[in-house]
A and B are shown apart, each in its own frame.
Chain A
Amino acid sequence: MRRFLLSLCCTVLPLCCTASAQDSSPALARGKAIYEQQCQSCHGVNGTGSKEVPSPLFGDRAVAELADLIDRTMPEGAPQECVGEDARAVAEWMQQAFYSPEAQARLNPPRVELARLTVSQYRNAVADLSTSFRWQQTPGAERGLNASYFAGRSHRRDRQVLQRLDSQIHFQFGSSSPDGEKLSEDAFAVTWDGSLIPRETGWYDFTLRTENGARLYVNDRNTPLIDAWVRSGNDTEFHGRRYLLSGRLYPIKLDWFKFGEKTAAVQLCWKVPGGVLETIPRRHLCPRPSPDVLVVETPFPPDDRSAGYERGTSVSREWDEAATAAAVEAADKIVASINDLARLRDGGDRAQKIREFAVNFVERAFRRPLDDTLRQKYVDTQFAAAKSDDEGLRRIVILALKSPRFLYRETTGADDDYDRAARLSFALLNSLPDPQLLEAAKSGKLNNPDELRKHARRLAADPRSRARLVEFLRAWLNLDRLQELDKSDHAHPDFTPEIAADLRTSLELSLEHAANSAGGDFRALLNSDSIFMNDRLAKFYNAALPVPAASATDTPGSPAAEFQLVQFEPEHRAGIVSHPFLLSGLAYLETSSPIHRGVFVSRGLLGRGVKPPPIAVAPTAPELSPDLNTRERVTLQTSPDMCVNCHNLINSLGFALENFDAVGRYRNEEKGRPVDASGQYLQRSGRLVRFTGARELAEFLAESEETQRSFVRQLFHHMVQQPVLAWGPNAVDELNETFTSSRLQMQELQAEIAVRAALRGWSPAPPATAARTFNSTPASRLPFSSETQLQQPAKLR
């Protein structure tokens, strides 16, 4: 077995006492005086640190907690010199002077930095640029694909004898035909068509299995992704891949026929990013047609995520080269489909139409009308330099997509309605404004927050925005880090890769369900008593499916074969904290990990700044302390002073989930003794909450202002890619207020964040602030960012 070091998480809080600056009340004045006298020599003015204690002093502990720490440990070597009321006074003063995030934002206001499009924005923007010249489709409620059955081997309309909706493409026709009366078993043909609804952005690997002839088209109506028309020898499996962006529909068509072969079968599978090979499930298929989407496949280097969210505030040579290659790729694809995009077949002057297209293209790419100079530079000059219209168009597309006016979020500092339209749209859709929004900008309406809000609500309901929320929820739960769930064959032999994949799907479905339910109730994520299960999961976790699966095996794609919402141990579980995917992911090969679970709750959900542990520690192997249960073992190991400050917080949250073992099954005893699932949490307000078990923990989290504020802050960062404190020290509070007053509707929060982001953006001039008196760590890099990544437990037992 591979052994990894476990990152035990401890907050190292460099502490001491002394003071400076603005304060009114006598208590604060006293705290300030003590700080100056006892702490400042080591911790520096405003906690900026000194040679001896270089790390700056800030964090998110409650005053009470801070006071307690000072009381017990500070000044170093002589903790008795600052205790009781003194420690409390220092803590209070520090809190408002420089320690808290809000104080830091006051002292060192973060600014909106110049930013380029992130890779995801780039791909979405190019896709929407092309789509804006086509048409758009929404998935609707119906699922599955249109199936047209033809008598004979050809797909001629006049031979069509049967039309129906098929849930999936997975058929073993054997030696008979699907309709004995209308179709001869010797030769018949089927066309399945409609659209694909991908789950997330990335490479999709398609596998077509058939012993007959077939052609598969995915997001390209003219060129098959898989051409298996000629059946030859024993080849029955064919492959192809496409890069797809989430939140969109892609046309899919499978032409299939049987001719002469003894038997017939066809199955269309895919492997989604991070998934396993499966028949494309019904929920990802829709019978409505949709147009091709221009998806740039050129690989880009990943964006900076050091602040906990992807952002475009740096450039690299690799990025610039990728942007060039991507521009060429997009230009070639646009020129190849120009008949369609510029509607050249409708007649009219070809050259004229291409020119009009080019101007529109550049304007949409730049998110604003072109003035004469820019039009000259980006359009006229390029046509003049080219030998043909197509060549001119190609030059224009490359130039536009390489231009800083496309590649950067904002470049002019105009701060006009066009800028507001773009900010609103990038926040909600991660992409360019749509024609309606540009129209609103043109008529000068977007200075009005209500008008912005109207568009924000419209866009928040767009499937791209819904997909973006799901994408955020994945980031919020740090699902990227929970790949390859693996359990010990010895302890959990029945935990197969299929179970792991099903669990992930189940969680994904919960997130989609929450994001797409009316308004998107945030609390439902945390306290829902149901989860999605298929037959396999229901068997593994001994749950009962509402629609029994017995009938499912012979009708593939029927609802029962798919995932169903199941009330699952509601007396023990609630919401995502007790979802078996997270419980299994935040566990070792054989045992649970209260520390990982505790870090997930404290850092991920409550937004507490938990620093990495000061030393790397390997967890005590269970066999070294065979008499101890997990709780006892973890308590013992984290009992040293250097650990306990943080582990008090972490462990007492993680212990509340001790009723669940390494695969997320409920247990009420371990090592023959009852499980102790009691836990507690000292809120930043100073109030202590106690809870026992997942249900009580979840109920606390769902109502906790800390959870909500953390959610608001992280969602803001995900949507806007700039530090929220650049919108003022109270930005999170204000947003949280609207969030609460909208009864925690995530969709409303998205809209509100977008409106805020739209109203204030990047400015080309330096901010007129004189407050930069000491080291200016950008707020986004402050360690209290709860968005820093949580590692998956190493594969230990």
Chain B
Amino acid sequence: MQTRRHFLRRLGLSAAATPFISGLSAFASPKALGTRRQRLVVMFSPNGTVPWDFWPDEEGDQFTLKRILQPLSDFQNRMLVLKGVCDKVRGDGDNHMRGMGCLLTGTELFPGNIQGGSDTPAGWASGISIDQEIAGFLQSKEETRTRFGSLEFGVMVPDRADTWTRMSYAGANKPIAPVDDPYQMFKKLYGQVRDREVLTSILDSVQDDLQAIGKVISSEDRRLLDEHTTFVRSMEQQLQSAQSLDSGHAVPALEPGIREENDNIPQITRMQIELLVNSFQNDFTRVATLQITNSVGQPKMRWLGIEEGHHELSHEPDENKDAHEKLTKINTWYCEQLALLVRRLAETPEPGGEGSLLDNTTILWGNELGQGNSHTLDNIPFVMIGNGLNFRMGRSLRFPKVPHNRLLLALAHGFGHHIETFGNPNFCKDGVLTGLT
């Protein structure tokens, strides 16, 4: 099998040209198609859930979905509802900060200068997040390596880097900014394809002009111009052959001109989901995060008839039925986005393999809090869906307040990455979360 480097060498390309030639989707993953492409998505929505409209009353494989989870009813046999998994990380920062910064890292925040609504100020998380840990594991092996390793999608994440806006960490003090502009993500994924098209036509015009100029030039100087023309022509030819390799891969069409603003959250979410599914289809990555807004997120879901900001509502006491009706609607809307992602994965066939993308993808839906008004870090509303990690799906599970580090460990183990601990080792003493398989 050809590696990309071989291919480039055959084309005789040096490093400068690779931005335009590299990232050929056909060569993004030069691995045997026989092996299964396991994938992980972590989806985040903020401010806790409404417990009574979220948690099924039953335990086991016979359970009824409550209002918030209703949008997933078509996929009930492919999901796990995990009650009793708790974020036990303490230390600096308020619960919104720790809920976010420790959700995927399972370890404390450093002391710092970011002051939340309570508790001590804090900085960034002190360790790597599980999505990056798994991405690193997959990138370390030739057969699971992809062009990006991981992609971090966002939706309306405020343009400021702080503990409330980052959940992925490449390491201690190394937060990763999600890309919340679908056009920017598109450019990241397909910019090179677009560049190739543009450049091919431009280089053609350049050659014309070089020839026109060459006509009036003395033979001594023309040599230089001829040489130049040869280089331009050979690059054009290389680009053309690169382009023919691209054909057959789906490049999604994005609706143009959607500005990043509150009322466009539904469109932006759809666009990001489309790009996410597409990047799996083209095997650009096996690990993705989708962070809708941020910890303490304040979207005003006017498209649901809700004028108040989400975070503001989440502080209302349980007795405020009106507020909780709205919160249920908001969380249901988030679940609908998850359902859209699930549906798109289910209806997209696994390229070169059997079944659908969903057969090889596990999505973890999480939140920085269990419930907004109490700011509890217990009972984080975790849902898993899809069959990427060989868990026994279609069940409502109850755990005796276990640290969520054990769930993070289970994700790693699901990929065959058998680490003993993840995050703060004190929370990993009982090992990987049992009962999933």
Q: Write the residues of chain A forming the contact surface with B, with a CB cutoff of 8 angstroms.
A: 111, 113-114, 116, 212-213, 227, 229-235, 257, 259-261, 298-299, 313-318, 320-322, 324-325, 328, 377-378, 381, 385, 388, 394-395, 398-399, 402-405, 408, 411-413, 762, 764-766
| Cβ B161 vs Cβ A394 within 8 A | no
The answer on a CB contact under 8 Å between B202 and A398 is: yes
Q: Indicate if the CB atoms of B16 and A321 lie closer than 8 Å.
A: yes
Residue B241 interfacial (CB < 8 Å):
no
Q: Which residues, 205 to 232 on B, are CB-close (under 8 Å) to A?
A: 205-206, 208-210, 213, 216-221, 224-225, 227-228, 231-232
> Is there an interface contact between B221 and A405, defined as CB atoms closer than 8 Å?
no
Residue from B123, B163, B201, B221 within 8 A of A233 (CB atoms) = B123
Q: Beyond the given A259-B113, A398-B198, A411-B213, please list 19 additional residue pairs across the A-B interface where CB-CB is below 8 A.
A: A212-B113, A229-B162, A230-B162, A232-B112, A232-B122, A235-B110, A260-B121, A315-B224, A316-B231, A317-B234, A321-B235, A325-B17, A378-B205, A399-B205, A404-B209, A412-B216, A413-B217, A764-B218, A766-B219
Q: Which residues of B contact A111 (CB under 8 A)?
A: 220
A-B contact pairs, 8 of them (CB 8 A): A230-B113, A232-B112, A235-B173, A315-B227, A321-B17, A328-B20, A402-B232, A764-B217
A595 nearest CB across to chain B (Å): 39
Q: Within the complex, which residue of A318, A320, A395, A766 is in contact with B228, where a contact is CB–CB below 8 Å?
A: A320
Q: When chains A and B are docked, how far (Å) is the Cα of A232 from the Cα of B113?
A: 7
Residues of B within 8 A of A324 (CB): 16-17, 20, 199, 203, 235
Q: Which residues on the A side are within 8 Å of B20 (C-beta)? A: 324-325, 328
Partner of A328, one of B195, B201, B220: B195
The 9 lowest CB-CB distance pairs between A and B, nearest first, are: A232-B123, A233-B110, A114-B221, A320-B231, A321-B16, A232-B124, A231-B113, A766-B218, A232-B110
Q: Give A61 to B234 CA distance when docked, in angstroms.
A: 49
> Which residues of A are found within 8 Å of B210, using beta-carbon distances?
404
A398 CB contacts on chain B under 8 angstroms: 198-199, 202
Q: Which residues of A contact B216 (CB under 8 A)?
A: 412-413, 764
Nearest B residue to A765 via CB reads B218
B123 touches A314 (CB 8 A): no
Tell me, in angstroms, the Cα distance from A505 to B225 when the chains sit together. 42
Interchain CA distance A116-B224 in the complex, whole Å: 9
Give B331-362 as 1s and 0s: 1 = Cβ < 8 Å from A's Cβ atoms.
00000000000000000000000000000000
Q: Are B224 and A313 in contact (CB under 8 A)?
A: yes
Measured CA separation A765–B217 after assembly (Å): 6
Q: Are A232 and B224 in contact, CB atoms less than 8 angstroms apart?
A: no
Chain B residues, CB < 8 A from A229: 160-162
- Is B256 in contact with chain A by the CB < 8 A criterion? yes
Check if A404 sits within 8 Å of B195, measured CB to CB.
no
> Does the CB pair B206–A404 fall under 8 Å?
yes
Choose among B16, B121, B199, B203 the residue with the greatest number of A CB atoms under 10 Å from its CB: B16
Q: How far is the CA of A636 from the CA of B389 in the complex (A)?
A: 82
Chain A residues near B219 (CB-CB < 8 A)? 766
Known: A227-B161, A260-B113. A233 touches B235 (CB 8 A): no
B317 on interface, CB distance cutoff 8 Å:
no
Q: How far is the CA of A762 from the CA of B220 in the complex (A)?
A: 12
User: B222-262 vs A: 1/0 string, CB under 8 Å?
Assistant: 00110110011011000000000000000000001000000
B109 adjacent to chain A (CB < 8 Å): yes
Cβ-defined contact, B163 with A230, below 8 A: yes
Whether the Cβ atoms of B123 and A231 lie closer than 8 Å is yes
B429 to chain A, nearest CB (A): 25
A391–chain B nearest beta-carbon distance, Å: 8
Tell whether, in the assembled complex, residue B173 and residue A233 are in contact, meaning their CB atoms are under 8 Å apart: yes
Complex contacts, B235 vs chain A, CB 8 Å: 320-321, 324
Whose C-beta in chain A lies nearest to the C-beta of B114? A230
Q: Which residues of B contact A261 (CB under 8 A)?
A: 113
- Interface status of B111 (Cβ within 8 A of chain A): yes
Give the chain B neighbours of A230 by CB distance below 8 A.
112-114, 123-124, 161-163
Chain B positions within 8 Å of A405 at CB level: 209, 213
C-alpha spacing A230/B210, complex, angstroms: 53
Given contacts A233-B111, A233-B173, A259-B121, contact A315 B228 (CB under 8 A): yes
Q: How far does the Cβ of A112 sit from chain B's closest Cβ, in whole Å?
A: 10
Q: Check if B14 is an interface residue, CB within 8 A of chain A.
A: yes
Nearest chain B residue, comparing its CB with the CB of A411: B213
In B94-136, which residues have CB < 8 Å from any A CB? Answer: 109-115, 121-124, 126
Q: Which residues of B does A touch, CB under 8 Å?
A: 13-14, 16-17, 19-20, 109-115, 121-124, 126, 160-163, 172-173, 195, 198-199, 201-203, 205-206, 208-210, 213, 216-221, 224-225, 227-228, 231-232, 234-235, 256
Given A298-B16, A402-B202, A766-B218, answer yes or no on A114-B225 (Cβ-Cβ < 8 Å).
Answer: yes
Kindly identify which residue among B109, B111, B209 contacts A377, using a CB–CB cutoff of 8 Å.
B209
For A116, A318, A324, the residue with the greatest tally of chain B CB atoms inside 10 Å of its CB is A324
Contact B221 A764 (CB under 8 A): yes
| A328 CA / B205 CA spacing, docked (Å) | 16
Contact B115 A260 (CB under 8 A): yes
Inter-chain CA distance A325–B192, complex, in Å, is 11
Q: Give A325 Cβ to nearest chain B Cβ, in Å.
A: 5
Nearest B residue (CB) for A767: B218
> A395–B221 contact, CB under 8 A?
no
Q: Which residue of B lies closest to A396 (CB)?
A: B202
B203, A317: Cβ atoms under 8 Å?
Answer: no
Q: How far is the CA of A127 from the CA of B331 in the complex (A)?
A: 50
- Measured in the bound complex, the distance between the Cα atoms of B399 and A164 in whole Å is 61
Residue from B115, B195, B217, B218 in contact with A259 in the complex, judged by beta carbons closer than 8 Å: B115
For B110, the chain A residues whose CB sits under 8 A away are 232-235
Of chain B, the residue at the smallest CB distance from A373 is B212
Q: Given A325-B17, A404-B213, are A399 and B112 neighbors across the interface (CB < 8 Å)? A: no
Nearest-CB residue, chain A, relative to B126: A233
Contact among B114, B123, B199, B228 with A404 in the assembled complex (CB-CB below 8 Å): B228
Scoring B202, B209, B256 by chain A CB atoms within 10 A of each residue's CB, the highest score goes to B202
Give Cα A402 to B199, complex, Å.
10
Is there an interface contact between A377 and B205, defined as CB atoms closer than 8 Å?
A: yes
Q: Do residues A321 and B205 form an inter-chain contact, with CB atoms below 8 A?
A: no
Q: Which residues of B contact A404 (CB under 8 A)?
A: 206, 209-210, 213, 225, 228
What residues of chain B lie closer than 8 Å to A213, measured between beta carbons?
Answer: 113
Complex CA gap A762/B111 in Å reads 66
Q: A766–B111 Cα gap in the complex (Å)?
A: 74
Across the interface, do A385 and B112 meet the contact criterion of CB distance under 8 Å? Answer: no
Residue in chain A with minimal CB distance to B198? A395
Q: Which residue of B lies closest to A235 (CB)?
A: B173
Q: Which residues of A contact B126 (CB under 8 A)?
A: 233
What separation, in Å, do the CA atoms of A212 and B111 have in the docked complex? 12
Question: What residues of A have a CB within 8 angstroms of the CB of B232 in the complex?
Answer: 320, 402
Q: How far is the CA of A116 from the CA of B213 in the complex (A)?
A: 13
User: Taking the nearest CB of chain A, how far is it from the CB of B100, in angstroms?
Assistant: 12
> Chain B nearest CB: distance from A666 CB in Å?
50
Contact yes or no, A385 B201, CB < 8 A: yes
- Write the nearest CB–CB distance from B241 to chain A, whole angstroms: 16
**Bound-state Cα–Cα, A298 to B205, Å:** 23
Residues of chain A with a CB closer than 8 A to B198's CB = 394-395, 398
CA distance A779 to B381 in the complex (A): 80
Instruction: Give Cα A227 to B205, complex, Å.
Output: 42
User: A114 and B217: CB pair below 8 A?
Assistant: yes
Give the CA-CA distance A762 to B218 in the complex, in Å: 11
Please state if A318 and B218 are interface contacts (CB–CB under 8 Å): no
Alpha-carbon gap, A377 to B218, bound state (A): 25
CA distance A394 to B195 in the complex (A): 10
Given that A230-B114, A230-B124, A230-B161 are contacting pairs, would A315 and B231 also be in contact in the complex, using a CB cutoff of 8 Å?
Answer: yes
When distances are taken between beta carbons in the complex, the residues of chain A under 8 Å from B14 are 317-318, 321
Point out the residues of chain B lying under 8 angstroms from A394, CB to CB. Answer: 198
A298–B163 alpha-carbon span in the complex (Å): 34
With A and B bound together, what is the CA distance between A298 and B16 in angstroms? Answer: 8
Residue contact B113 to A395, C-beta cutoff 8 Å: no
| Interfacial chain A residues near B114, Cβ < 8 Å | 230-231
Bound-state CA distance A318–B221 (Å) is 20
Distance (whole angstroms) from the CB of A54 to the closest CB of chain B = 24
C-alpha gap A28/B198 in the complex (Å): 67
